[in-house]
Structure 1
């Protein structure tokens, strides 16, 4: 059995939606699920080999469908100094006093620990020390924008809002593949051929979410099982039983029964010490465009006492645990390790300082970033134009306003420069067209004079700082300009002119129709 470890760094926000108690907040998992990693790599392989029926490809079947490779989740590790350690979910037996002066492992003591509370989250074990790890999350407010008009204005007429939570960029996650010996070499070969440098994971991947940098670590033999006087099975990942269950004891019975069959010896099932929590496991299959059926599972961090009758072959126990137990083992579910009680759990509260590194972006990345920024700024231009055209400042007195507005709208599609468009309006438009444009007033001024910037007339958006309207986080503008270029947030004057008047005319046409109906 081989263990192939890797580290992911999310350079974009990450969202792995979880079922919530309401429809207002969409929460995210605090780690990267193994199923997401498996799906992303399978997608890369299918695209690289242009497969129509992937399951017919022998290599694809061995790596992604046969169960020879288990794709474990990637848990947070906080910083590079801890990437050589083992990342895991906190065992549910660990408790800490409210004043944070004492930590106990309930598997090692039977004392009543009033005034203590369970430790939650993740930890990294390195050089015999435990480091508690937190993930950085943020909540964003979104408005429901179902109609075309709402998307342009960026607001909901009905006032519908929802919140979603995401993992903030710049965090490190350590994951692994557990592969049978005959599949490990094949997996390495395929990863090298595909030249995996980044994976796109989670929700909203088409909206600048989910990009993670991928770095493989040296291959090593899977860790040997160490046996002691008192043993517990620690769930590294959620365990999904094959049968239905209501009490955790029922799920534990099935788990131990499966382990008995693998080892060929009997396991005690009565009077066991169990520390467990349950959760609902679901997912989304992109190929099918459908959600997976939700299943109840014992959560990662669950501890189940293990009492085996007779001599135990440690290598056989190790193989059974690493093969995975229960359902969904190919997605990393059902992974257990042996946990031995800690007489004096010691946590290192002060984590190594995160190293700040100089970020250097490639020309292609800079080019893409500038396109994204440009589009975001133009959205503000369109929104401003729509608001101006829908405001009470626009008055239409022309009888044939619809025709002239559509003509100007078409002119903005031409791709001509601002000066060329103004020249056409002032020189080529006939007297009737100019009269109709003059009969359309914005803030009391003739639209004709505003379009050509006649004496004493200014464009409605003159002086508007489009970058300020985007509302970037404090200090981020200079940082982005440093990374991408000082001109990253500059818009071409001709493009702003065409874009503003194009969307202004579109909405003014709608108003002219309504007034014509009246």
Structure 2
């Protein structure tokens, strides 16, 4: 296998749409997904070869490179310059690398002893690891305001504004294209080394103009050297999709180990997410997939593996849809328990004057969007912990019941369910309680969101900006409804994929 490195420089604000936000807020990913890179190259190929976009799949080379997975595009991550003015790529921070709470001391929990009992909190952004040193980096973003447009009249809707969060211009993102030497040589010959393209949302407006540059003149052979120690770290650099024995995406460890070439997971720090994408040719959303999020990391027992097995994992990735950038990983990246933060921090001073009302409104909307995201993720994770789920029709009924109601109203409706429905809820449960007891007792509040270590940053922003989203009772009611809508939707999706054998109510 050979690779070519590429760099994307956004010449204008860039919106790589994420699945989170509300009707008045569009948020952006902080990296360039591999499937977006695949689209850039596919469009350049179509222009260079002068073939029809609608019939491009009939071209043998196009089909092999972009549809069959013979060519693999990694995601592109933020590039920054270090103290020696050298450029380096920063990858998602592994979830096991955390900060000791109330201290600026960074530790990798993947390597701590069993008696470690200090409180820690997660880190946000991207990092570069160099043995005992960590360099942190964030992606610069901007918030832009737009008037909503009346499509029929062709004019702006009076008083209706929506916001775009975008990646600020003039930032660099780097990734790799992998394939055979022959394919990569031909890619260079057809597409060239550098061109201007458009990426993301609102490409016909002020967003999405980029420079795409392949930085090497010829493909570079891949050489992976892995020390054959008994244990080694595995870090996911991109979202990773694996399938269980029934062909459904999952984050089950037993299914994950089947992809690891005889390696065994000893310790795991992973998070679950959902992959959603839009197929431009079909003009439809692709089915969502459950995935391990980038930054998930594992300590592996590789005593039963051959060197070639480990090299194959790092060369080709893990799981499904590798050609679109999923499943990128690195072995042996995390080696030390204690890390020294050498990040160069800008000298910032808090303004002495009060925050403008408009700025406060913007921050409030961003904080609320982040809280909603956290609530939805928790609901999806908790829903997957329950076994012997109630029927899809009962889940749908419960989802309809929670809409428009606060906690008290929903609990009263649950208590008033008929005996067959109640029995289904009592028969379903996780390790702690039955689903019936969970629905009766579950609280959803801003305070609960802020109490989690991963959301300390949100709480700090609210303290600095003197915000109190928890004092908004209408917002808290919305969070309760949002939580259980996501909760029951996750259950209904699970029942649909697994087969619903329960009796309808």
TM-score strictly above 0.5: yes
Closer, same or farther: CA 126–201 of 1 in aligned 2, 3 Å:
farther
CA distance in 1, matches of 2:303, 2:135: 35
Task: Note if 1:327 corresponds to 2:313.
Answer: no
Alignment of 1:108-507 (within 5 A): 108-110=111-113, 111-125=115-129, 129-147=133-151, 149=153, 151-152=154-155, 154=156, 156-157=157-158, 159-192=159-192, 195-218=193-216, 219-227=219-227, 228-243=229-244, 248=251, 250=252, 252-260=253-261, 266-268=262-264, 272-310=266-304, 312-339=305-332, 340-350=334-344
- Which SS does the other structure have where 1:258 is aligned? coil
The offset of 1:46, in angstroms, is: 1.1
CA distance in 1, matches of 2:301, 2:48: 48
Alignment of 1:25-104 (within 5 A): 25-52=25-52, 53-79=55-81, 84-104=87-107
Closer, same or farther: CA 125–214 of 1 in aligned 2, 3 Å:
farther
CA distance in 1, matches of 2:341, 2:258: 35
CA distance in 1, matches of 2:287, 2:86: 34
Unaligned runs of 5+ in 2: 348-505
CA distance in 1, matches of 2:270, 2:254: 13
The offset of 1:215, in angstroms, is: 2.7
- Which SS does the other structure have where 1:77 is aligned? strand
Between structure 1 and structure 2, the one with the greater Rg is: 1
List, as ranges, runs of 4+ consecutive aligned residues in structure 1 with deviation greater than 6 Å: 80-83, 244-247
Residue of structure 1 equivalent to 2:401: none
Unaligned runs of 5+ in 1: 261-265, 354-518
1:360-394 per-residue CA deviation (whole Å, 9 max, x = no partner) reads xxxxxxxxxxxxxxxxxxxxxxxxxxxxxxxxxxx
Closer, same or farther: CA 289–103 of 1 in aligned 2, 3 Å:
same
CA contact (8 A) 1:238 1:334 kept: yes
Closer, same or farther: CA 112–23 of 1 in aligned 2, 3 Å:
farther
The offset of 1:318, in angstroms, is: 1.2
CA distance in 1, matches of 2:195, 2:21: 37
CA contact (8 A) 1:225 1:318 kept: yes
**Stretch moving more, 88-97 or 236-245:** 236-245
CA distance in 2, matches of 1:214, 1:26: 24
The offset of 1:95, in angstroms, is: 0.9
CA contact (8 A) 2:110 2:298 kept: no
CA contact (8 A) 2:80 2:87 kept: no
CA contact (8 A) 1:62 1:183 kept: no
CA distance in 2, matches of 1:93, 1:63: 35
1:132-175 per-residue CA deviation (whole Å, 9 max, x = no partner) reads 110111222333221555x54x4x24x43332211111111111
CA contact (8 A) 1:86 1:125 kept: no
Closer, same or farther: CA 95–126 of 1 in aligned 2, 3 Å:
closer
Residue of structure 2 equivalent to 1:494: none
The offset of 1:331, in angstroms, is: 0.5
The offset of 1:21, in angstroms, is: 5.3
- Which SS does the other structure have where 2:187 is aligned? helix
